[in-house]
Structure 1
Amino acid sequence: MVELDAVVPPKFNGERLDRTAARLFAEDAGADVAVSRSELARWIRAGELTLDGRVVKPSTAVASGQCLRLKATRAARFDWQSAESLDFQVVYEDDDIIVVDKPGGLVVHPGAGNPRGTLVNGLLGLRPDLAVLPRAGLVQRLDKDTSGLMVVAANSTSLLKLGEAMRERRIERHYLAVAEGVVIADQTVDLPIGRDPTNRLRQTVRDDGREAVTHIAVGRRFAAHTLVHARLETGRTHQVRVHLAAIGHPLVGDRRYGARRIVPPEASADQARTIQEFPRQALHASRLALPHPVGGARVDFESEPPEDVKCLLHALEEA
């Protein structure tokens, strides 16, 4: 059972009920549950979220001083509840968070074309109670073919606090990336990102996109490639991939964003094959630092690059 109460403050006067409820309950540090806007809309339509005791539509405008009352039964997310035993590494877990090291090739959550066999299904095998949390406790996502660290909230309180930390940019996310071409210098890429109007599977730099900032540091230069350390200041879809492509350095293996299958001039046939046939974008979430949702102490996790990235780096060193 989910039970929450709130009074509409002056700053939300005239706003929609569903938007107001989502913001009030998300901002309530004392709330012991986290709710999503889609859940709220469903509960409003079912009469389980009322305004001054009345059943109203999600689009109803609220007024300062009105009372919101939520009393609803949360069902398990049936499309996300199938538990499976899957191969991924749990780096750390306690009662409040789970930190996993996702392998490349593993889809994060169920969706069209991937109803099962996802990281979420594996997490439910580890913690069945995640089924009742919005997004099964996911605080962030990684692309299917990106490997590395992710944090998952293990309860509603943690989900609220980690979501707040993410919005306030208090969660540090660092990536290792292998880019085509020789990156000349460290730099900050500050270019807005939005959906590509000609290809819904791509993101692109566009003036009307959302703010996106990536800090790039050169790790090592090779003959025709660069090992890059990227730190996210924002967290847009495909951000590292889009930003590196935008400055002329797409990731090895990232054909969606213009990888050219560059080969060093002195590479052997085996080295060239390793580079040109790298099966995914060469991107690994290597470090994650965040305030623990209980107590706020800073916790820091690191992950070595997986074997496929190590083999790629070895080929580039030898070429």
Structure 2
Amino acid sequence: MINLKNIYIKIRLFLHNIGLITLDTATLKELKKIEVSKPKFQEAYTEPVEIEPENIEEYERILFEEELIAKSAESLSQALRNVRIFSRNLIRYLGYENEVEYFKRVVLYMFLSIFGFIILGILSKNIIGGFIKGIVGAVIILVGSIFYPRLKLMLFKGEIKLQILFTLVFMISLLRAGASLPEVLNHISKSREFGIVAYEIRQVLRDVNSGYSMLEALERAKIRTEIPLMIVFFDQIIAGYNKGNLSLLLEKLYEEIVRSSLAKLDSSKFMIQNLGNLTFGIGLIIPFSGMILSGMISNQGFPGILNTLDLLMTKIGPMLALFFGIFVKMKIE
């Protein structure tokens, strides 16, 4: 059952952290009670210790690890376990140990959204409107958190490709120097420079340490990964490990990735140029001309022109630039 007193303390602590209020003695004592809920026998007869304001940071851990956020995160994790677009591996690519840790951050942002809009509603004397906006913001954050891992993977395919290319160069140089495949994989797993590749390799080595053979661990990694290029990467390693000439196969894979990237870039130049002209022509020039004519015909005068410029330059223009930039990034990668 949710403790209303603890929620009240959380709200006051949040307002204290953003500088809106200062904590009073009663709140400080409540924080002390949360930390020491079951005092030892010899501590029961000691004098109470007052908490100084500068030591408040150590009590934040107590508040954010309580059941309100943790249980909400666990419930979201259970509810989305069978959702196809949401994947545990994608969460781990973002640096989280599991989906519960990820949803703890999401739930925290949802609460911050609600509290933030309520505070703005209080300042603007529209508490109900602020609460409704906070709920809408929390729902947007929740829905966005479901799609965020996969969208980030789609938008950063180029960075992942560079990580794989860098890994291939590193592996080829070590294999030609006489290192074995387990030694090469061990070196990669210990470096953060290889990004997602290092994470996948660590999973392979973990399977090997659990009793799987190297081939079985590589096959499991190929099935587990959600990055198409990593599947090709593991296929080449498996083929080279079985038949030999691993360094030669990896070199051919490197050349093929570079060749396909250059060919894709060349084929996209004409399409990107024409789409850019079409987007900004239809999205900016034609609406601008139409709105200017409409303002002149309706005798709105100079304010009507300013309103048109504001709409195009601050709303339509940035949105078109954002969508076009995302399209170009996805097309060339």
Point out the structure with the larger helix share. Answer: 2
**Structure with more contact order per residue of length (Cα contacts < 8 Å, sep ≥ 6):** 1
Point out the structure with the larger strand share. Answer: 1
Q: Report TM bin, short chain.
A: under 0.3
Q: Output the TM-score relative to the length of structure 2.
A: 0.20
- Bigger Cα Rg: 2
Q: Output the TM-score relative to the length of structure 1.
A: 0.21
